[in-house]
Chain A
């Protein structure tokens, strides 16, 4: 699986032999590849006017292009704001709750992202075909797809170390602009142009899969919530900056502590371990039916109700397994 940004085909249908050579090099002998474009066909076509575009069939004959639309990042921020507003609405009216939830479209995004990731994973696992994923810049929806696909396909990504590596590789190193995206979250007074809960959506998708396969992850929900928090505000330098270049310029590795060095200490790690974890070598396929996707209570309703009862349940689970 490869990821990139959009090809600069523009209105003239420019081509680039090196680009074609590069991605063709990943094709397995005798097999075609799939390009998963996270924009709708329309949007991809319109991008040409601004110098961007998509891979032409004529130039990339061994690749089939699939458009799996994932909403653009600025829309996602709106979605988050509406969702949080719904969660703060203390009225007792069920109709209002459901309609606000629906209007936020949050779960729609979750479904879109998961579906695209499953598709990518399916191409690799079922077709044995190579896959190239890109959107516009390759820094948002692209990363959601590639990282989730790996969680589906690769059991090592479901271990704690494996997941940490995944985040480092597919988000930090890949250049997801954390500083721009995670500046203010849902309560910002001013409209932030680059703000978007892209990483949170990714974590939410991971949680959805975790909920469907509760025995297949070495980490628990708390781990994901911790990562969500640190992406927005942290005493560690891991999520600072927008890419490796900036981090290097800021000399973060000398001036700050790494989140991982703290998380991976055994006393901290124990809080994040999933007592139900049983390592398996399976590919896990989540259901993307609406009935299967739920609101992430642990994040969105976290401050609405006492977590006591669910915490106790978790403790009990640990007791049962430890005792055994």
Chain B
């Protein structure tokens, strides 16, 4: 469709004119401006909702909201075309079969072996070995080898040595969805463990010998403690209500030596609504500080994040400080349980704070343990009530921790954002379907590529320059505080306002430090080379004058051109009350790759916006990642398909 306008979301003054294309996998908008021909690509899988708005004099507006929080506003001149696009997008964004998803057509031009290797990068067997299993207390069990016991569990589960197959099977019959207690994390220093399951089918008075034996087995696997905690991550009321449906929670009277605890994290519906409310706040035009803070509070989002974090802290404390094992469950043991177990593991074990370890963590507690990616993130068109930002919340917990412990993580914010992006993008096969069983049936590993390999290949872009493996902050358990005035939970604008660059710090500390480190490395290599050369020359006794070291201009090396005033930063619109205050803010949307081009808005009467919108940053070089150009690179931040998040330095 031609002559479509792409509006800047917050300022209707700024609009780009171009052509809209719909392909089998993407929506693409290409600007008419001949020099740049800037492209905006959006994967259909990313589309969360499409809204057709009332036709105006200028055309028919279409608002596309994405799961990665990108919001695209188009104005299509003809109502008929708009309707066609709308109907098409509705269908394209709601695939019916897996084969429609991008991962089945995405081709990064790797050969079969590379594809296989990519899938082998994360190996859970290796991970449990790393933990020290099998050992005297824990072993691997193949009781679920054909998914006969629990179809949402993996084929390989780790259980206490004293848990026989009989006990496991018996216990599984007493658990919702047959999700029996299985090992998530084992601490070899003190034998305490974190196990996970779903709720018991206890109703008001039902008992199951094998299930009780199972919990005893978990306790016995930790000789250092005579009891275990059983943590129900639901609010007490909800858990009690479940009893009426024949489910519920563990009665301390029936299970010997357990200490039972409710944590009170809300369910997926509450979380879905919470995110919705928060996004509404993000979409406000020129909100006042009060509007924003009140809206944020009203959404409850940070409260939920804190609840998850607090649960993780409780469990980590139990394991690290008390040396007591914990069994965690919620209702079905695949949402809150996954969040809480992975946060706790992250706090406990520095390995999970390394890049590889983090991938392993997600693979372990989310992928293998049957988190319902398809239902939660809408790979395929399904029940909207199943949709919920469960893993998003976990990812945010990690970010909050990164802000408080800047040296403790090997990876940076961009790593988290890209993972979130790809959970929804369906460009890679890792997060498809609802269980390992389904993925194997679809032969995902033979037909798609692994995200982990892609990220690993580009790991230089995801490193945290402040991380040092030998640093005290990176080792051992992280012990964050719990009161919000002691652990400042921040609004993650990098995620929820991801595409509004004007809102973020205009100079990136991470990228600056990475550039410095890179240069240091180059200088070290050069130093070595020159050292050798010098030695050689001294040997052959040549004149010293011929040895000239190449002095490189440091600024140039780092791509920092400090004298380039034409790339000046652009002001926001600060006046909200003057019609005739012509703000000649020459900004136009985000330029990541190309040099910033300042086009002058002519003196139109201002449509005042006090908010920060897509502004141009002061900057020079695009130190964007060296992403493979073979199609499907992260179409991030409003920019062209081939570039990744750009970096701005003064």
How close is B53's CB to chain A, nearest CB, in angstroms?
A: 24
CB-CB nearest in chain B for A321: B516
Q: Say yes or no: B610 contacts A115, CB within 8 Å.
A: yes
* A294 contacts B by Cβ under 8 Å: yes
Q: Say yes or no: A213 contacts B493, CB within 8 Å.
A: no
* B382 contacts A by Cβ under 8 Å: no
CB-CB nearest in chain A for B558: A278
* B83 contacts A by Cβ under 8 Å: no
Contact of A317 among B507, B513, B560, B577 (CB under 8 A): B513
* B45 contacts A by Cβ under 8 Å: no
* B568 contacts A by Cβ under 8 Å: yes
User: Given A98-B296, A276-B509, A313-B407 in contact, is the A287-B503 Cβ separation under 8 Å?
Assistant: yes
How close is B280's CB to chain A, nearest CB, in angstroms?
A: 14
Q: Say yes or no: A285 contacts B571, CB within 8 Å.
A: yes
- Among the 9-residue stretches A47-55, A101-109, A135-143, A252-260, the one with 4 or more Cβ atoms under 8 Å from chain B is A101-109
How close is B613's CB to chain A, nearest CB, in angstroms?
A: 8
Q: Say yes or no: A280 contacts B577, CB within 8 Å.
A: no
Interface centre among A88, A97, A126, A287 (most CB of B within 10 A): A287
Q: Which residues of A contact B408 (CB under 8 A)?
A: 309
Cα distance A317–B513 when bound, in Å? 7
Q: Say yes or no: B509 contacts A214, CB within 8 Å.
A: yes
Contact of A304 among B485, B507, B517, B611 (CB under 8 A): B485
CB-CB contacts below 8 Å: B558-617 with A: 560, 562-563, 565, 568-572, 574-575, 577-578, 581, 583-585, 610-612, 615
Q: Say yes or no: A320 contacts B493, CB within 8 Å.
A: no
Q: How many residues of B contact A (CB 8 A)?
A: 79
Q: Say yes or no: A107 contacts B509, CB within 8 Å.
A: no
Q: Which residues of B contact A276 (CB under 8 A)?
A: 507, 509, 512-513
* B108 contacts A by Cβ under 8 Å: no
Interface centre among A108, A212, A305, A324 (most CB of B within 10 A): A324
Q: Say yes or no: B571 contacts A316, CB within 8 Å.
A: no
Q: Say yes or no: B577 contacts A278, CB within 8 Å.
A: no
How close is B4's CB to chain A, nearest CB, in angstroms?
A: 28
Cα distance A6–B406 when bound, in Å? 48
User: Given A290-B288, A313-B466 in contact, is the A119-B575 Cβ separation under 8 Å?
Assistant: yes
Interface centre among B291, B489, B516 (most CB of A within 10 A): B516
Interface centre among B473, B509, B571 (most CB of A within 10 A): B571
* B345 contacts A by Cβ under 8 Å: no
Q: Which residues of A contact B405 (CB under 8 A)?
A: 309
Q: Which residues of A contact B612 (CB under 8 A)?
A: 287-289, 291-292
Q: Say yes or no: A280 contacts B562, CB within 8 Å.
A: yes
CB-CB nearest in chain A for B301: A94
Q: Say yes or no: B485 contacts A312, CB within 8 Å.
A: no
How close is B486's CB to chain A, nearest CB, in angstroms?
A: 5
Contact of B506 among A212, A320, A323 (CB under 8 A): A212
Q: Which residues of A contact B583 (CB under 8 A)?
A: 122, 126
* A190 contacts B by Cβ under 8 Å: no
CB-CB nearest in chain B for A88: B485
* A2 contacts B by Cβ under 8 Å: no
- Among the 9-residue stretches B140-148, B230-238, B302-310, the one with 4 or more Cβ atoms under 8 Å from chain A is B302-310
How close is A283's CB to chain B, nearest CB, in angstroms?
A: 6
How close is A58's CB to chain B, nearest CB, in angstroms?
A: 18
How close is B640's CB to chain A, nearest CB, in angstroms?
A: 24
* A198 contacts B by Cβ under 8 Å: no
CB-CB contacts below 8 Å: A42-99 with B: 64, 66-67, 86-95, 97-99
Contact of A313 among B406, B517, B650 (CB under 8 A): B406
CB-CB nearest in chain B for A86: B485
User: Given A66-B577, A281-B562, A316-B468 in contact, is the A287-B502 Cβ separation under 8 Å?
Assistant: yes
Cα distance A89–B483 when bound, in Å? 8
Binary CB contact string for chain B from 285 to 328 against chain A (1 if under 8 A, 0 otherwise): 00111111110110010110010001000000000000000000
* A20 contacts B by Cβ under 8 Å: no
Q: Say yes or no: B302 contacts A94, CB within 8 Å.
A: yes
How close is B300's CB to chain A, nearest CB, in angstroms?
A: 7
* A279 contacts B by Cβ under 8 Å: yes
Q: Say yes or no: A92 contacts B484, CB within 8 Å.
A: yes
Q: Which residues of A contact B482 (CB under 8 A)?
A: 92
CB-CB nearest in chain A for B509: A214
Q: Say yes or no: A66 contacts B581, CB within 8 Å.
A: yes
Q: Say yes or no: A89 contacts B293, CB within 8 Å.
A: no
Q: Say yes or no: B488 contacts A295, CB within 8 Å.
A: yes
CB-CB contacts below 8 Å: A151-187 with B: none
Q: Say yes or no: B571 contacts A305, CB within 8 Å.
A: no
Q: Say yes or no: A282 contacts B310, CB within 8 Å.
A: no
Binary CB contact string for chain A from 256 to 286 against chain B (1 if under 8 A, 0 otherwise): 0000000000000000000010111111110
* B447 contacts A by Cβ under 8 Å: no
Q: Which residues of A contact B618 (CB under 8 A)?
A: 280, 282, 284
Q: Say yes or no: B297 contacts A102, CB within 8 Å.
A: yes
Cα distance A93–B489 when bound, in Å? 12
Q: Say yes or no: B505 contacts A211, CB within 8 Å.
A: yes
Q: Which residues of A contact B21 (CB under 8 A)?
A: none
CB-CB nearest in chain A for B516: A324
Q: Say yes or no: A320 contacts B300, CB within 8 Å.
A: no
How close is A321's CB to chain B, nearest CB, in angstroms?
A: 6
Contact of B565 among A86, A282, A292 (CB under 8 A): A282
Contact of B585 among A66, A126, A304, A309 (CB under 8 A): A126
Cα distance A89–B484 when bound, in Å? 9
* A297 contacts B by Cβ under 8 Å: yes
User: Given A283-B568, A292-B503, A292-B612 in contact, is the A98-B302 Cβ separation under 8 Å?
Assistant: yes
Contact of A91 among B483, B504, B516, B572 (CB under 8 A): B483
CB-CB nearest in chain A for B570: A285
Q: Say yes or no: A301 contacts B407, CB within 8 Å.
A: no
CB-CB contacts below 8 Å: B464-499 with A: 465-466, 468, 471-473, 481-491, 493, 497
Q: Say yes or no: B296 contacts A287, CB within 8 Å.
A: no
Q: Say yes or no: A297 contacts B650, CB within 8 Å.
A: no
Q: Which 5 A-B pairs have the closest CB atoms?
A: A290-B292, A287-B612, A289-B612, A313-B406, A102-B293
* Residues of chain A having any CB pair with chain B under 8 Å: 64, 66-67, 86-95, 97-99, 101-102, 105, 107-108, 110-111, 115-116, 118-119, 121-122, 125-127, 211-216, 276, 278-285, 287-295, 297, 301, 304-305, 308-310, 312-313, 316-317, 320-321, 323-324
Give 15 pairs: A residue, B residue, CB < 8 Å, sorted on A. A66-B578, A99-B297, A101-B293, A102-B297, A107-B293, A127-B584, A212-B506, A212-B507, A213-B505, A214-B512, A215-B509, A215-B512, A285-B572, A317-B513, A320-B520
* Residues of chain B having any CB pair with chain A under 8 Å: 282, 287-294, 296-297, 300, 302-303, 306, 310, 404-408, 465-466, 468, 471-473, 481-491, 493, 497, 502-507, 509, 512-513, 516-517, 519-520, 523, 555, 560, 562-563, 565, 568-572, 574-575, 577-578, 581, 583-585, 610-612, 615, 618, 649-650
Extra 10 A-B pairs, beta carbons < 8 Å, given A125-B571, A282-B568, A312-B406:
A66-B578, A102-B297, A122-B571, A287-B504, A289-B611, A290-B288, A297-B488, A301-B485, A304-B483, A312-B407
